[in-house]
Structure 1
Amino acid sequence: MRKVFNHCLVLLCLPFSMAVQGATVLFLNPGYTDETFWVSYSTFMQAAARDLGMQLEVQYSQRSPERAIEQARTALQGQHRPDYLIFVNEQYIAPQILRLSQGSGVKLFMVNNGLTREQAQLIGPDDAQYAGWLGSMVTNDEEGGYLMLKELIRQRGPIEPGHTLDLLAFSGVKNTPASRWREKGMKRALSEHPQVRLRQMVHGEWNQQRAYEQARQLFKRYPDTALVWSANDEMAFGAMRAAQEAGYTPGSDVLFSAVNSSISALESRISGRLSALVAGHFTLGGWAMVLLNDDSKGVDFKRFGGRDRQVPVLQLLNAEQAATLLKVIRSQAFNLRFTSFSAQGKPANYRYPFTLDSLLHMPQTPAK
């Protein structure tokens, strides 16, 4: 009788134990283990996992698409498979990972870089073959690129008739959707200001040293450069170093823009060395965890904004906002109540309120 009782007790406790542990998630982080943006990205995801009661593992691919695909293969075809796999379509690796997922039983979600138009056309409208593919979440990269250049032009002031402003642009990795969208936004702003001349755009590949070497040549070639647009902070700092060596003063002689929320970027926006800073996309992974947690509880998050969604987390930061975000980034606590974002029990017109303002202004709870 006691054996039967104990057996029943185990069966009763097993679902509770599983519920306490929550869903398991593997995030294939495309960055380096010491890359500021991608480390903060993972940290925000871990904060979400803790609050939501999920189990998160992060594996870094060290900027190697081959390594990311191999990590995906192990996760999707190995013995110990996660409930969910989150990955980035960096270097256009999404189709390979989707193919590897067939029959795995693992649910997939893309962040930051969704499918390109060409990739979506190749996969076709009937994607039933990828039953575990839940969707994607990207940010407003085109708008971010647009806002940066508009802000640089605004701060430079009115351009007198017959005069022009010379612009240099540093884009990221060529085969990355986010890079292409930011370029597109920059060019949209250019079309609205014909007096601003794009003298040259180069691909700095998100790398400070590469951008520095490129900028050394560009400042010699275009000595009248007044504006420098950069698709991330590392390239902005590389170009800034070259400008200083050439005798320019950042924030005065030449205005610089950047994307990111690293401590250096935020401090530079506060000091004025960066004249335009767009930030907020490091939060995407954390918001994705909210969606997957809802899915694990039987909530169809697609009913509350669609399968593939763009969220406006990128926004311009003034010096005061940068100072506020700097305090949050330095603390690395991210003690948001992620559970409050859930669509569970919400009306049909509910939309997940994923914005940078949510992080800056929502009441925070003590760390668990």
Structure 2
Amino acid sequence: MVLRVVLMISLFLGTVSRVADADTLPNPSASDTLPNVVFLSPDTSRFWHMVAGFMEQVAADLEVEFDVLFDEGRHRLSYLKLVQQVLSREEKPDYLIIMWKEQVTAQILDYARRQSVKVFSFNTAVPEAAREKVGSAPREKMENWIGHLGVDNVSGGQLLARMLDQRARVLNLVRSDEPVPVVALTGTLDSSAARDRSLGLLEATDGAGSELLQSVRADWSELEARDKTSVLLRRYPNTAAIWSASDGMALGAMDAARRAGLRPGNDLVVGGIDWEPEALAAIRAGDLYVSLGRHFMGGGLALLLVHDYHRGYDFADSGQSASMHYQFKAATADNVDDIAHMLAPENWKAVDFRAFSRVFNSQLREVPVSAERLMDGFSAALMKQGGR
């Protein structure tokens, strides 16, 4: 398996400089127009601006008509309103790329269906409560829901908890026969990402390795995380690890720890999720132990899949599911410089993302579409531009 992944990454990298010579004969089922795609960002945070920026570069390479709208309300009802505004336009997009929102996404899919607009969802899992209405996978009950791409948030929550446990023990913050005391910060109630990451946390903190003292909602807010962590540290002065469902909240937690006279990275360990540039800087400084990420590229991958679908190369055309998943990767002091190359916009511009499209590369049409392999290919191409 490892050899196969290496070979496919080499194939991707080799095609970056040869796209112009690739087989671009159209598929008979292809549309003769370029796709018009609107991405609806769930909020205005640094992470989602990074997602949108990466998507814009992929769109430019693929010549996709692309627009981004940000939900300033950061709530499921404001997100629904944003969808309604887009679908009320006289010139409607061909596709919406959205994130699942608890309690409203089934409405979004149905409204888009009535407007003859196709939908691709990404980043978070499909909630159990919604599956009765929309099906457990795209195209099962709603034909206009063409695909779903998700990072495994449950495994991510587990991985983050286990890495913090291991680091706390390396630092001798607890005796070898004691569980690591953990407090946790999670996101909004309507976020399935927050829910699934927390589920992974609960599965990893069984009391034998780590013990979860308390988990609180900080709604993805750095300031709210700082304030709530201050309360948690007073309530649980023996805290050895802070688990955070996002880097922004982790930064707020470290601020609170410093205000309490503690040294993050020495007196307690902190980890987050998102690969935000500020988090990588904190890893270099030794304050933040780990950040899980690469899902900032998920929107770009979703856009690539939509583009190829529109041009006649369906990502589910080999009988595979239209729902795909991939895993987080960890950034630590050992690889933080490599990860930073992946986040640099100048490196995004240096990669020709047509190299990953089946429209422009006939040899890729013979290989089943794999989200994990494509994300590995994106990663390798970006690190190559950084000289790694």
Identify the TM-score tier after normalising by the shorter chain.
Answer: 0.7 to 0.9
Map 1:117-136 → 2, pairs under 5 A: 117-124=128-135, 130-136=142-148
CA distance in 2, matches of 1:94, 1:337: 33
1:280 match: 294
CA distance in 2, matches of 1:145, 1:38: 20
Native 8 Å contact 1:76 1:104 kept in 2? yes
CA distance in 1, matches of 2:345, 2:245: 26
SS in 2 for 1:157: helix
Match of 1:164 among 179, 199, 220: 179
2:68 match: 58
- Deviation for aligned residue 1:128: 6.6
Q: TM (normalized to structure 2)?
A: 0.82
Native 8 Å contact 1:324 1:360 kept in 2? no
Map 1:241-252 → 2, pairs under 5 A: 241-252=255-266
1:297 paired with 2:311, answer yes
CA distance in 1, matches of 2:154, 2:238: 27
4+ residue runs over 6 A deviation: 125-129, 363-366
Instruction: Please list the CA deviations of residues 276-333 of structure 1 after superposition, one character each: whole Å capped at 9, or x if unmatched.
Output: 2111111110000111111111112113552111122x11112242212224424454
Match of 2:126 among 106, 115, 119: 115
Alignment size in residue pairs = 344
1:4 match: none
Native 8 Å contact 2:325 2:372 kept in 1? no
CA distance in 1, matches of 2:298, 2:183: 29
CA distance in 2, matches of 1:324, 1:127: 38
SS in 2 for 1:282: helix
Instruction: Please list the CA deviations of residues 200-250 of structure 1 after superposition, one character each: whole Å capped at 9, or x if unmatched.
Output: 110111111111111111111110111110000111111111111111100
Gaps (5+ residues) in structure 1?
1-17
The alignment yields a C-alpha RMSD, in angstroms, of: 2.4
Q: TM (normalized to structure 1)?
A: 0.86
SS in 1 for 2:271: strand
SS in 2 for 1:174: coil
- Deviation for aligned residue 1:124: 4.5
- Deviation for aligned residue 1:77: 3.8
CA distance in 2, matches of 1:242, 1:282: 27
Q: Quickly say closer, same or farther: Cα 1:140–1:175, change in 2 above 3 A.
A: same
2:23 match: none
CA distance in 2, matches of 1:188, 1:122: 28
CA distance in 2, matches of 1:128, 1:173: 29
Moved more, 113-122 or 284-293: 113-122
2:326 match: 311
CA distance in 2, matches of 1:195, 1:45: 39
2:11 match: none
With a CA cutoff of 8 Å and minimum separation of 6, indicate the structure with the bigger relative contact order. 2
Match of 2:379 among 340, 343, 360: 360
- Deviation for aligned residue 1:30: 1.0
Native 8 Å contact 1:250 1:273 kept in 2? yes
- Deviation for aligned residue 1:31: 1.0
- Deviation for aligned residue 1:149: 1.3
- Deviation for aligned residue 1:130: 3.1
SS in 1 for 2:287: coil
1:139 paired with 2:147, answer no
- Deviation for aligned residue 1:131: 2.7
Question: Identity of paired residues, percent?
Answer: 25
SS in 2 for 1:166: strand
CA distance in 2, matches of 1:86, 1:195: 40
SS in 1 for 2:335: helix
2:9 match: none
CA distance in 2, matches of 1:289, 1:52: 9
